[in-house]
């Protein structure tokens, strides 16, 4: 999946309104090597989706689908 080169918000482009926290494969594209949530500069998401993404990632971490840290 080539998300980063796209300057348009990925979720708007895909017409995704609710980000599924269970879709770890997708969320993984928006976390850095240090397991941090990508800043908007890197993720190119709109404010609404960046906020939803952060919530989804936090939920995914709680459900042990994503790591809290890289170690």
Binding site for Zn ion (CB under 5 A): 9, 11-12, 46, 49
Q: How many CA atoms lie within 13 A of 48 on its CB side?
A: 9
DSSP state of 17: -
Q: At closest approach, how far in Å is the CB of 41 from Zn ion?
A: 15
Q: At closest approach, how far in Å is the CB of 57 from Zn ion?
A: 15
Nearer to Zn ion, 9 or 27 (CB): 9
Nearer to Zn ion, 6 or 32 (CB): 6
- How far is residue 14 from each of residues 3, 61, 64, measured CA to CA in Å? 11, 24, 26
């Amino acid at each position: 999946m080539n998300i980063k080169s796209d300057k348009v918000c990925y979720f708007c482009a895909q017409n995704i309104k609710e980000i599924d926290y269970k879709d770890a494969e997708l969320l993984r594209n928006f976390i850095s090597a240090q397991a941090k949530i990508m800043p908007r500069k890197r993720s190119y998401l709109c404010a609404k989706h960046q906020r939803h993404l952060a919530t989804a990632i936090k939920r995914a971490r709680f459900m042990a689908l994503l790591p809290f840290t890289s170690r």
